[in-house]
């Protein structure tokens, strides 16, 4: 019996745009899309770094990949780069709205809620949700223009669904500094769900599917104390490896999910199950 199911996951000939493309998760998303045949526009603040990584992808996977520098909080830059990508590739089939920030001022970012500044709050919101709106708006226009639909996938977080267990952060550090999970991160990631569901219904008539992926904790430089405490909170007993998140993005980008929209795929090792 001939089967077409495997081919449903192929992305050959499709163009994908990935924001935060040279981050820990972004790099792996880009690689996963390219391996499945997609041409990839890698967006990050540093165009030289994005271009160098895109060149690596092209060599490794034989697809057309290009890097673009863009401050996604800037209306003008987002519109300019969306037009540039559309002109370079001729179409945009997939958007991975993935970029987020923890701020360059980590003291302000990790400040206690009672002392948290509105200025810092707005800086994080500017990247985590305002920029997501700007990128979806700019890319969505081209998806409508080309008339062939598309898939938008937005990266959220388990802390947009659940309140953090603050006990996990006692004695915990990331890259050598004490950490917590600030309210602005939870609030910004919760907003991703609202935007996702809204756009899923708003653009459905244009054949544009919009979904979210919600990772739980990912191994990326946390100290042993944090990893052990976090692992104890999950049924699978460990944090995620970055590569374990990529499959959900490939599924949602591909025709294998052609009847999936307005959904949130949670990849948290079972954390939200108990």
CB 63 within 8 A of CB 41: no
Domains located in the chain, CATH noted: 11-104+123-164+183-221+244-267 (3.40.50.720)
Record the tokens describing residue 58, joined without a space.
């092209």
C-alpha–C-alpha distance, residues 200 and 49, integer Å: 33
In the β-sheet with 208-215, what is the strand arrangement from edge to edge?
Answer: 65-69, 39-44, 15-19, 94-97, 150-155, 208-215, 264-267
Residue 85's contacts (CB-CB under 8 Å, 6 or more residues apart) are 15, 17, 41, 66, 68, 92
Record the pTM: 0.96
Per-residue pLDDT of the chain (274 residues; tens, 9 = 90+): 667 899 999 999 999 999 999 999 999 999 999 999 999 999 999 999 999 999 999 999 999 999 999 999 999 999 999 999 999 999 999 999 999 998 788 899 999 999 999 999 999 999 999 999 999 999 999 999 999 999 999 999 999 999 999 999 999 887 778 889 999 999 999 999 999 999 999 999 999 999 999 999 998 878 999 999 999 999 999 999 999 999 999 999 999 999 999 999 999 999 999 8
- Active-site hit among 61, 68, 142, 185: 185
CB 63 within 8 A of CB 38: yes
φ/ψ region of 65 (left if φ > 0, alpha if ψ in -120 to 50, else beta) reads: beta
Record the tokens describing residue 82, joined without a space.
């969306």
Q: Is 185 a catalytic residue?
A: yes
């Amino acid at each position: 019996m001939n089967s077409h199911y495997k081919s449903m996951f192929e992305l050959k000939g499709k163009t994908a745009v990935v924001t935060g493309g040279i981050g820990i998760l972004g790099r792996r998303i880009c690689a996963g899309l390219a391996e499945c045949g997609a041409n990839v526009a890698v967006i990050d603040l540093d165009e030289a770094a994005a271009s160098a990584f895109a060149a690596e992808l092209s060599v490794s996977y034989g697809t057309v990949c290009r890097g673009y520098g863009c401050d996604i909080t800037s209306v003008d830059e987002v519109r300019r780069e969306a037009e540039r990508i559309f002109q370079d590739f001729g179409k945009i089939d997939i958007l991975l709205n993935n970029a987020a920030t923890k701020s360059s001022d980590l003291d302000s970012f990790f400040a206690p809620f009672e002392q948290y500044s509105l200025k810092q709050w707005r800086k994080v919101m500017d990247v985590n949700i305002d920029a997501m709106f700007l990128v979806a708006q700019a890319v969505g226009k081209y998806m409508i223009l080309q008339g062939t639909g598309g898939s938008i996938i937005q990266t959220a977080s388990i802390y947009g669904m659940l309140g953090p267990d603050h006990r996990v952060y006692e004695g915990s550090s990331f890259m050598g500094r004490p950490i917590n999970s600030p309210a602005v991160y939870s609030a910004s990631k919760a907003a991703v769900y609202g935007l996702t569901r809204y756009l899923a219904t708003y653009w459905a008539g244009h054949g544009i599917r919009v979904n979210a992926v919600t990772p739980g904790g990912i191994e990326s430089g946390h100290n042993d104390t944090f990893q052990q405490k976090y692992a104890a909170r999950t049924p699978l007993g460990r944090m995620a490896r970055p590569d374990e998140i990529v499959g959900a993005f490939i599924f949602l980008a591909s025709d294998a999910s052609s009847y999936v929209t307005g959904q949130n795929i949670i990849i948290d090792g079972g954390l939200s199950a108990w």
